[in-house]
């Protein structure tokens, strides 16, 4: 059984109702003094904090914590994945009749897009849950409830983990929406609607939080599985610094810092999983030396139509024999690759670069509504490394964990940051890190590179990290997401692709939140 604290989330029914407003406390019939009256109560509350990543509610997969938003558009990973993949040259969805899907496929969304509203609201909800946990876990609160000694020390570590998860969600909001509403546990609940924070100020806040909690977290690989440790904070800092020029403006690069923190992770005792495919199977929680922090799923304990259940089922069609992917009751036939994704691989047959995991023989798409046009992506599966089915209550829900941070990304961050001028590293070491990834992919040194460039790193990021919700952020950093210098099939809604407006590097603040909160201003272009 997976060693993760939020498998007990089905028993945690507190903190389950919240509107989309950031300044509201979750409401329930259990008073805080009862819910937080013991050390066990605090760990259950921490389970809810983590569980907001993996579930849409505490009552079942068909329900949602989010007021006015159904369960299908309220799961964090499902919506984050859509925003990062469908809007790029990697993925396209056949479900054109589902609200919001076509606009993501074609980069034509507006402020009423239900999927972008769902993601924004889920991140805000998660922050709201964390703020409440932090209000109830101060030293004063613990002392007043008679919690002292080792129990109090453990709860202080819980607080640091919660602060990381809040920083992560604020990073998501900063990366996607730029200038979100902002509130912490220090604000009085319900007094005034939250004010908006600009991107540069939010960058500084996230950086400050991650640096402040460093010594409060468990050492790398010393926490329970799927819980935050120091390496997770270093990994997010490295990612934050790599994108600093996007967030702070040109000339404000922090590539030396990116090299520093990627190196801290690299030196923390992680190693590459021997076989690439085993990173994305139903037993990827076992003997996995590469993943730094996952979202953990269990096909019986944490049922949800989002998460990896969504990624796997939406990538498999009924004609592909879903049982071969550990989902005999599933196979939804929704998301597959645009031709540009398999085109990055030297050989898509799987005989050369083993990271190329596709199904089909025609990479080209004429009709986006037809799933069987284009290559299906078979990277994630609910099979185990011994070809057994992962746990599932109905042959659809899956037990495959999703890696939020893994060592391979840190190799790629190091390489790119060095090439962009970061000090403290070397091109020689950067090339060596890329060749470690390629040696795993090819099974030997036959695919090793002899030179390195930014374009090579971007291609390597696509081959290593595709279907893991990186691509939008990567293309923006490289200046290829909008405009017309780089086109892909159906960019802008045209089969051959067209130039797209530059303001689309940010998503809009949802219209519903603008109406509800007079303190907010819309992003440019919307």
pLDDT digits (tens, 9 = 90+) for 444-490: 999 999 999 999 999 999 999 999 999 999 999 999 999 999 999 99
The answer to whether residues 307 and 75 touch, using CB atoms and an 8 Å cutoff, is: yes
Q: How far is the C-alpha of 152 from the C-alpha of 137, rounded, in Å?
A: 9
* Distance, CA of 330 to CA of 394 (rounded, Å): 9
11 burial type by CB count under 10 A (0-12 exposed, 13-18 middle, 19+ buried) = exposed
Q: Look up the CATH number of the domain holding residue 173.
A: 1.25.40.390
pLDDT of 28 higher than 80: no
Highest-confidence range of 152-166, 176-190, 338-352, by mean pLDDT? 152-166
Report the distance separating Cα 408 and Cα 414, nearest Å: 10
Residue 57, pLDDT score? 85
Tell me if 502 is assigned to some domain.
yes
Q: What is the mean pLDDT of the chain?
A: 93
- Domain containing 166 equals 1-87+110-214+488-526
Burial class (CB within 10 angstroms; exposed 0-12, middle 13-18, buried 19+) of 256? middle
Asked whether residue 351 is domain-assigned, the answer is no
Distance CA 5, CA 48 (A): 9
Q: Using CB atoms within 10 A of its CB, is residue 300 exposed (0-12), middle (13-18) or buried (19+)?
A: middle
Contacts of 307 (CB under 8 A, 6+ apart): 54, 75, 77, 78, 295, 297, 398, 402
CA distances from 62 to 59, 82, 333 (A): 8, 19, 20
Q: Quote the pTM value.
A: 0.95
Is residue 224 a part of any domain in this protein? Answer: no
- Give the span between the Cα atoms of 377 and 379, in whole angstroms: 6
In this structure, is residue 409 part of a structural domain?
no
How many structural domains comprise the chain? Answer: 1
Q: Per-residue pLDDT averaged across 430-455, rounded? A: 97
Alpha-carbon distance of 474 to 83, in angstroms, equals: 13
Cβ neighbourhood burial of 440 (10 Å; 0-12, 13-18, 19+): buried
3-state DSSP assignment of residue 465: helix
The answer to whether residue 347 is domain-embedded is: no
The kind and range of the H/E element at 203 are helix 199-213
Mean pLDDT of 517-525: 96
23 pLDDT above the threshold of 80: no
Residue 315 in any domain: the answer is: no
pLDDT tens digits, 304-340 = 899 999 999 999 999 999 999 999 999 999 999 999 9
- In percent, how much of the chain has pLDDT > 70? 93
What interhelical angle do 76-85 and 114-135 show, nearest 10?
130
Predicted confidence band of residue 63 (pLDDT cuts 50, 70, 90): confident
Please check the confidence at residue 19 and state whether its pLDDT lies above 90. no
pLDDT in tens, 370-408: 999 999 999 999 999 999 999 999 999 999 999 999 999
Predicted pLDDT at 350:
56
Name 389's Cβ contacts closer than 8 Å, sequence gap at least 6.
282, 326, 328, 382, 383
Q: Is residue 203 part of a domain?
A: yes
Element (H or E) spanning 48, and its range? helix 39-54
Asked if residue 371 belongs to a domain, the reply is no
Residues 6+ positions from 499 with CB-CB distance below 8 Å: 482, 483, 484, 487, 492
CA distance readout (Å), 438 to 345, 360, 420, 464: 12, 24, 22, 9
């Amino acid at each position: 059984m997976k060693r993760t604290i939020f498998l007990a989330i089905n028993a945690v029914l507190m903190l389950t109702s919240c509107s989309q407003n950031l300044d509201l406390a979750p409401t329930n019939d259990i008073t805080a003094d009862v819910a937080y009256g013991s050390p066990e109560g605090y760990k259950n509350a921490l389970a809810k904090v983590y569980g907001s990543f993996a579930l849409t509610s505490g009552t079942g997969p068909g329900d949602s914590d989010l007021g006015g938003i159904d369960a299908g558009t309220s799961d964090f990973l499902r919506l984050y994945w859509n925003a990062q993949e469908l809007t790029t040259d990697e993925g396209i969805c056949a479900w054109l009749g589902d609200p919001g899907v076509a606009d993501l496929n074609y980069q034509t969304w507006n402020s009423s897009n239900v999927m972008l509203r769902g993601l924004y609201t889920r991140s805000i909800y998660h922050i709201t849950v964390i703020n409440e946990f932090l209000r109830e876990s101060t030293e004063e609160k613990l002392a007043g409830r008679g919690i002292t000694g080792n129990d109090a020390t453990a709860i202080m570590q819980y607080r640091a983990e919660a602060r990381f998860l809040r920083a992560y969600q604020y990073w998501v909001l900063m990366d996607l929406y730029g200038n979100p509403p902002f509130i912490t546990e220090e604000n009085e609940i319900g007094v005034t609607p939250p004010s908006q924070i600009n991107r540069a100020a939010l960058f500084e806040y996230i950086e400050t939080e991650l640096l402040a909690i460093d010594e409060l977290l468990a050492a790398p690989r010393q926490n329970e599985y799927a819980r935050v440790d120091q390496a997770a904070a270093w990994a997010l800092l490295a990612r934050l610094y790599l994108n600093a020029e996007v967030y702070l403006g040109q000339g404000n690069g922090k590539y030396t810092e990116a090299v520093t923190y990627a190196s801290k992770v690299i030196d923390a005792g992680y190693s590459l999983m021997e076989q690439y495919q085993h990173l994305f199977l139903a037993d990827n929680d076992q003997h996995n030396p590469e993943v730094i922090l996952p979202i953990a799923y269990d096909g019986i304990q944490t049922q949800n139509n989002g998460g990896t259940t969504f990624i796997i089922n939406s990538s498999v069609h009924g004609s592909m024999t879903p049982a071969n992917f550990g989902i005999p009751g599933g196979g939804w036939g929704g998301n597959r690759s645009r031709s540009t994704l398999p085109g990055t691989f030297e050989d898509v047959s799987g005989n050369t670069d083993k990271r190329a995991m596709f199904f089909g023989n025609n990479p080209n798409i004429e009709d986006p509504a037809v799933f069987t046009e284009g290559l299906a992506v078979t990277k994630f599966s609910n099979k185990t490394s011994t070809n057994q089915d992962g746990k599932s209550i109905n042959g659809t829900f899956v037990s495959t964990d999703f890696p939020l941070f893994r060592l391979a990304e840190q190799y790629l961050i190091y390489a790119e940051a060095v090439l962009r001028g970061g000090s403290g590293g070397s091109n020689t070491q950067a090339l060596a890190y890329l060749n470690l990834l390629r040696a795993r992919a090819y099974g030997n040194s036959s695919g090793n590179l002899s030179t390195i460039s930014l374009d090579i790193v971007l291609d390597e990021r696509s081959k290593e990290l595709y279907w893991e919700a990186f691509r939008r952020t990567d293309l923006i950093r490289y200046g290829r997401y909008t405009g017309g210098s780089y086109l892909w099939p159906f960019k802008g809604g045209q089969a051959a692709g067209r130039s797209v407006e530059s303001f689309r590097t940010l998503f809009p603040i949802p219209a519903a939140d603008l109406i509800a909160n007079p303190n907010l201003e819309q992003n440019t272009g919307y």
